Amino acid sequence: MSDVLTTFESSLDGLDVATTRTDADGFAEALDDAIREPAVGVPLGLDDVSLADTAVTVDPTATEFETARTGVTPVGAGIATYGSLAVAADAAGSEPVSLYPERHVAVLREEELHADMDEAFAWLGEEFAAGRDSYVFATGASATADMGEMVEGVHGPAEVHVVVLER
């Protein structure tokens, strides 16, 4: 287990975000445990795992999207010191799928973890150069204190869960 992963997990813990570690074999089960149904998602784009074996509806219709309780997306990177997730504003719809449902389940490969902002921005620079130039660094649940006290889940998800595919 790497230090970066441990740091990442403890940052997420501080944000009230749970992490599940798994591998290709355990993925489908771990993911099904992490979602609340109905769940929608975008293709993970990974070789060894896919949402096909899970309860997640991929490429949802507008109605399915609106009624979903969970949105599952891959994330391009994780930033260990901050517990941030890099969600791409891509053609597959990662941005709305991670944003609208009350629960966001992010799938991340351990290799995609970066220790800090320096590393994360170096990675982001490469992504921009490759034409993938729209990302959101999401850190914890959506929140507001505008109504007098901190309330989670305003316009964005109230709960976030990260599934890490270990090396």
Partner 1 sequence: MSADTRREKAAHIRHLLDTEGENVRENASHFNENRYDAIDEFDEYEELRTTVREIKEDAIERLPELIETVTESVEANGGHVYLAEDAADANQYIENVVGDAETLVKSKSMTTEEIDVNEQLETAGVDVYETDLGEFVLQVADENPSHIVGPSIHKSRAGIAELFNEQFDPEETLETPEELTEFARDYLGERIRDADVGMTGANFVVADSGTITLVTNEGNARKSAVTPDTHVAVAGVEKLIPTLSDLQPFVELIARSATGQPITQYVTMLSPPVETPTLDFDEPDTPLSESDGDREFHLVLLDNGRTAMREDDQLRETLYCIRCGACANSCANFQHVGGHAFGGETYSGGIATGWEAGVHGQDSAAEFNDLCTGCSRCVNNCPVKIDIPWINEVVRDRINHNESTEFDFLVEGLTPDEEPGGVDLQKRFFGNYADLAKVGSATAPLSNWIAGTAPARALMERVLGIDRRRSLPEFERETLRKWFDARGGSRVSPADADREAMLYPDAYTNYIEVERGKAAVRVLEALGVAVEVPDVASSGRAPLSQGMLATAERHAHDAYADLAEHIDAGRDIVIIEPSDLAMFAGEYEKFLPDRSAERLDDNSYEIMEYVYGLLENGGSSGKLPAGDGERVAYHSHCQQRTLGLEAHTVAVLEDRGYDVLTSETECCGMAGSFGYKREYYELSMDVGSELEAQFQDEEARDRTVVASGTSCLEQLDSLLERPSRHPVQLIDPDR
Residues that bind partner 1 (CB under 8 A): 42, 59-63, 65-66, 82, 84, 89-93, 95-97, 99-100, 117-118, 121, 124-125, 128, 133-149, 151, 153-157
What does the alpha-carbon distance between residue 76 and residue 92 come to, in Å, rounded to a whole number?
A: 13
In the complex, the smallest distance separating the C-beta of residue 128 from partner 1, rounded to whole angstroms, is 6
Residue 19 or residue 84: which is nearer to partner 1 going by CB? 84
Closer to partner 1 by CB, 36 or 100: give it.
100
Half-sphere exposure of 27 (CA within 13 A, CB side): 22
Judged by beta carbon, residue 8 or residue 22, the one nearer partner 1 is: 8
Give the nearest distance from C-beta 25 to partner 1 in angstroms.
29
**Which residues pair with residue 106 across a beta bridge?**
73, 162
Shortest spacing between CB 118 and partner 1, in angstroms? 7
Q: Distance between CA atoms of 162 and 63, rounded to whole angstroms?
A: 25
The position carrying tokens 């949105």 is 71
Cβ neighbours, 10 Å, residue 14: 11
Residue 3 burial (CB < 10 Å; 0-12/13-18/19+)?
A: exposed
Give whichever of 22 and 94 is closer to partner 1, judged by the CB atom: 94
CB of 33 to partner 1, least distance (A): 25
